[in-house]
Amino acid sequence: MAIPIIIDTDPGIDDALAIMLAAASPEVDLLGIVAVAGNVALEHTSRNAAALADLLGLDCPVGKGAALPLWRDTHFAPEVHGANGFGGYELPASQRELEPGVPLLARLIEESAEPVTVVAIGPLTNIAMLMSEHPETARKVERFVIMGGGTLRDTGNATPTSEFNIYFDPDAAARVFRFGVPVTMVGLNATHQALVAEKHLPDLMASGGPAAKMVKHLLNSYHDEAGVAAGGEHGAGMAQHDSLALAAVIDPAVITTEHYYVDVENTGRITNGMTVVDYLGRWGEPNTDVAFGVDVERFRNLLNTRLTELDTRLKEA
Ligand code: RIB
Ligand code: CA
């Protein structure tokens, strides 16, 4: 039985691979995609979500959620994802009608015969708004699987202590962790293990179709200080933050988790947006399955196999 999922996302280079993986995996039933501001402004993330859904031939609805964090100023990341969010890769503009994002989340959760797993791979603003505007609906969610946060030494990229998705809207994130629905946190301490370069996706690169072309561009769109494309043919690999979170739903064995109470600092002067794992068990019953280990080869093989199957299907469409 396929797991019903909704992807809440700020596409976004790594978001694109995650959405492709979901579209290619029969283990999940993608009910809808909801865009949120994050990597780039909502006008770009929502356009990208719709255009990607068209490319992938998805008939699920696409929603347009929050343009701003609950209270904070915005911190987009065009230096990482490019001004358009896809590293300059242009997809044909979609003609889809985008629905209001938070009502779409609520409708899809209510309409699903089975409890829905919400996979949040951007800032958590839409999710927090769902919880405040539709609390009883939010409680029907099976689990929130989030790409966000981190632990121990590897907890920050936006700042030394804070990962981007949490830092963009720490107040929203604090609400999500405290809400009471189980959370799986796929943080930087896990995703920084999930390095992917062209050489790890040999069948996809050889396939050469529309998905392969876009993935190749995205893997080559982020360059390190030496000017080497981290995901390119000579790169060590680009951390696949979001697709690891999706992979954890599709094939849970790609990660190993431990159960802890996790909270989010949202008032700190220098720690704002930090996810804090309570290893001492002092703050409350564990609320989060925290990802620690990654079976990198299993993850890379899943990406290579599924995205190649997707690319073959798109070439034949
Ligand atoms: O810190 C990485 C996360 O922030 C990823 O989801 C990336 O797409 C950005 O949203
Ligand atoms: Ca993202």
- d(CA 201, ligand 1 centre) in Å: 21
Closest ligand by atom to 165 CA: 1
**The CATH number of the domain where 173 resides is what?**
3.90.245.10
Query: Pocket of ligand 1, candidates 7, 13, 15, 162: which has the most ligand atoms within 8 Å of its Cβ, to mutate?
Result: 15
Q: How far is CA 132 from the centre of its chain?
A: 22
Residues 84, 221 contacting (CB under 8 angstroms): no
Task: Give the DSSP H/E element, type plus range, for residue 213.
Answer: helix 210-219
The mean predicted confidence, pLDDT, of the chain is: 96
Give the tens place of pLDDT for each residue, 34-64. 999 999 999 999 999 999 999 999 999 999 9
Q: What b-and-e string marks burial along 103-128, b requiring 16 or more CB atoms within 10 Å of the CB?
A: bbbbbbbeebeeebbbbbbbbbbbbb
Query: Pocket of ligand 1, candidates 36, 75, 157, 241: which has the most ligand atoms within 8 Å of its Cβ, to mutate?
Result: 241
Q: What's the whole-number mean pLDDT along residues 252-275?
A: 97
Q: What's the whole-number mean pLDDT along residues 213-239?
A: 86
Ligand 1 atom nearest to CA at 15: 8
Percent of the chain with pLDDT over 70: 99
Catalytic residue numbers? 241
Please give the biggest Cα pair distance in the chain.
Answer: 56
- Which residue stretches of 112-156 are H helix? 125-133, 135-138
Q: Counting beta carbons within 10 angstroms of the beta carbon of residue 26, is it exposed (0 to 12), middle (13 to 18) or buried (19 or more)?
A: exposed
- d(CA 13, ligand 1 centre) in Å: 9
Q: Is 88 left (phi over 0), alpha (psi -120 to 50) or beta?
A: left
Ligand 1 atom nearest to CA at 188: 1
Domain that holds residue 204: 3-316
Q: What pLDDT score was predicted for residue 78?
A: 87
Kindly tell me if the per-residue pLDDT of 225 is higher than 80: no
CA distance 135 to 227: 47
- d(CA 127, ligand 1 centre) in Å: 16
Q: Which residues, 6 or more positions from 137, have their beta carbon under 8 angstroms from its beta carbon?
A: 106, 109, 110, 130
Closest ligand by atom to 35 CA: 2
Count of CA atoms in the C-beta half-sphere (13 A) of 207: 26
Binding site membership of 38 for ligand 1 (Cβ less than 6 Å) = yes
Kindly tell me if the per-residue pLDDT of 224 is higher than 70: no
Binding site membership of 14 for ligand 1 (Cβ less than 6 Å) = yes
Query: Pocket of ligand 1, candidates 165, 195, 274, 275: which has the most ligand atoms within 8 Å of its Cβ, to mutate?
Result: 165
Kindly tell me if the per-residue pLDDT of 233 is higher than 80: yes
CA distances from 91 to 16, 61, 146, 170, 211 (A): 12, 18, 26, 31, 11
Token digits of residue 194: 């999930």
Give the tens place of pLDDT for each residue, 150-170. 997 788 999 999 999 999 999
The total domain count for the chain is: 1
Ligand 1 atom nearest to CA at 147: 6
Kindly tell me if the per-residue pLDDT of 125 is higher than 90: yes
Q: What are the φ and ψ backbone dihedral angles of 266, each rounded to 5 degrees?
A: -125, 20
pTM across the whole model = 0.97
User: What 3-state DSSP class applies to 291?
Assistant: strand
- d(CA 113, ligand 1 centre) in Å: 30
Helix, strand, coil percentages (3-state) for the chain, rounded to 5, are 40, 20, 40
Closest ligand by atom to 147 CA: 1
Give the tens place of pLDDT for each residue, 3-31. 999 999 999 999 999 999 999 999 999 99
